[in-house]
Amino acid sequence: MEVKRPDVYVEEMRNAILQLPETRSDKQRRLVLRTASRQLERADLYLAAVAYMELGDREAQRALNQLRTDLESLRRHLGERANQSTE
């Protein structure tokens, strides 16, 4: 496996994301899905931090729980798509 410098990887990732979906290569599609999954993991960390703040607002907690559930569903969906693209 070729080891890439971080700046080269970031440039490759940026190019893949900026490509129109229908013009992406298989490699670019996998890269975009991996990047999206990482961003969702980061978003979940932020939501967990907000949940930990115990806002004391039932409606806010309900909305936060819904966001985390939706986020996990999307992450799972993208993971399945990434697995399909490698088969």
Q: Convert the pLDDT of each residue in 37-69 to its tens digit.
A: 888 999 999 999 998 888 788 998 899 999 999
- Residue 1, in any domain of the structure: no
φ and ψ of 4, to 5 deg: -110, 150
- Residue 48, in any domain of the structure: yes
Q: Is the pLDDT of residue 70 over 90?
A: yes
Regarding pTM above 0.75, the answer is no
Give residue 39's identity as a one-letter amino acid code.
Answer: Q
Share of the chain above pLDDT 70, in %: 79
Q: Is the pLDDT of residue 24 over 70?
A: yes
- Residue 36, in any domain of the structure: yes
Q: Is the pLDDT of residue 19 over 80?
A: no
Q: Which of 10, 16, 73 is nearest to 44 (CA)?
A: 73
CA distance 83 to 7: 26
Q: Is the pLDDT of residue 73 over 90?
A: yes
- The domain in which residue 80 lies consists of 6-86
Q: Which of 4, 30, 6 is nearest to 19 (CA)?
A: 30
- Residue 39, in any domain of the structure: yes
